[in-house]
Amino acid sequence: MHRLASLDLSDRLSGIAPPWAVMLGCAVFGIGVAALLRLLADQFAPGIAPYAFIYPACLLATLLGGWQAGIGTIAIAGFLAWEFVVPKSASATVIHYQAIATAINAITATCAVAVAQGFRVSAAHAAQTHDVQLAERDLLFSELKHRVANDFAIVVSLLDLQRRRSNEPATRAALEQAMARVRSISRVHRQLYAVPETSQIDLRVYLRDLCAGLTDASLPPAGIRLSCECDEAYMARDRVLSLGLVVNELVTNAVRHAFPDGRDGVILVRFSRTGACWRLEVADNGVGMPITDRKAGLGTGLVEQFVHQAEGTLTLESRGGTQAYLDLPANAATGIAKA
């Protein structure tokens, strides 16, 4: 229906050309189509079915410019067919028969124009209804995002209230960590849903914006640099959310543990194709992680849950720093955006 409605030249050219000029142009185009088809047919069967090609011509003219263009096509193309295609005869009976045939063809072509105009009006109405529904959905979606953001803020406020009331250092530290987790998840959600809603998310844009947000929120003013590299890739929104949460947790852990005593360093976030599959790498050049602490640190808890949601496999190494590799299946992303 949207494609059919997009054929409405009188609406698309509104403000550029007057309606009568658009209708006239569509009628001329329809007449040209009928004449071209007639010339082609005359190469094989001259003069056969003199009014046959008026029907597709008037249908096309009606869809493009409305019923006025269709009627104009019928009138002019019918006259041309009568003058140049219908065989001339001196017999009154033959002329009478030809006149009746011309009238019948004009009536049936007019019916075709009426049907085409009905489809045209229905398509325009359906397109308008669809646009209204999209606007309502966008409004509801915006309201939902606003409510989710408020919910995150409320949770952080409640945790902060409990932290202020607690006198136990361990409890306060746990509540502060919980607040940081909620803020991190809120940031990931905000970055993801700031992307225009499509069936596939451009991962390069998303990871670049996410790393910029992490730089502002998690990195110290100086000393640690966050670098982001990403191949061209598009991914479903749900999997992107899990991937973003993994990146958030791994980068946050690296900032907290890889560079003690204020040392400088670099954290690299890279998403690339490895053979037929895809790999997310988060690596740092910090102090590294002892083998005995790897599973107790990055490999469990929230990261492990997010990895499971992304349907990936996490591998941890410690060679001149800590390297985390999240391997995803081949169908996790594509190099071409899908509608």
The CATH superfamily assigned to 198-332 is Histidine kinase-like ATPase, C-terminal domain (3.30.565.10)
Strand partners, 226: 267
pLDDT of residue 41: 86
Indicate if the pLDDT at residue 63 is higher than 90.
no
**Looking at this protein, which amino acid is placed at residue 131?**
D
Instruction: Give the range among 166-175, 183-192, 205-214, 248-257 with minimum mean pLDDT.
Output: 183-192
pLDDT of residue 18: 82
Of residues 246 and 127, more confidence is placed in 246
pLDDT of residue 294: 47
Indicate if the pLDDT at residue 268 is higher than 90.
yes
Tell me the average pLDDT across 118-122: 86
Domain ranges of the chain: 2-132, 198-332
Instruction: Give the range among 167-181, 185-199, 263-277, 292-306 with minimum mean pLDDT.
Output: 292-306
Closest CA relative to residue 232, chosen from 204, 198, 270: 204
Strand, helix or coil for residue 285:
coil
274-320 pLDDT per residue, tens? 888 899 999 999 888 765 554 444 445 778 888 888 899 999 888 88
Strand partners, 270: 229, 281
Q: Is the pTM of this model over 0.75?
A: no
Cα dihedral value 140, 206, 279, 322, nearest 10? -120
- Give the angle subtended at the CA of 14 by the CAs of 3 and 55, to the nearest 5°: 50
φ/ψ bin of 136: left (φ > 0), alpha (ψ from -120 to 50), beta (otherwise):
alpha
Element (H, E) at 43: none
Return all residues near 329 (Cβ < 8 A) that are at least 6 apart. 277, 278, 311, 312
Distances (CA, A) of 189 to 145, 193, 237, 242, 282: 9, 6, 11, 10, 20
Indicate if the pLDDT at residue 30 is higher than 80.
yes
| CB of 228 closer than 8 Å to CB of 211 | yes
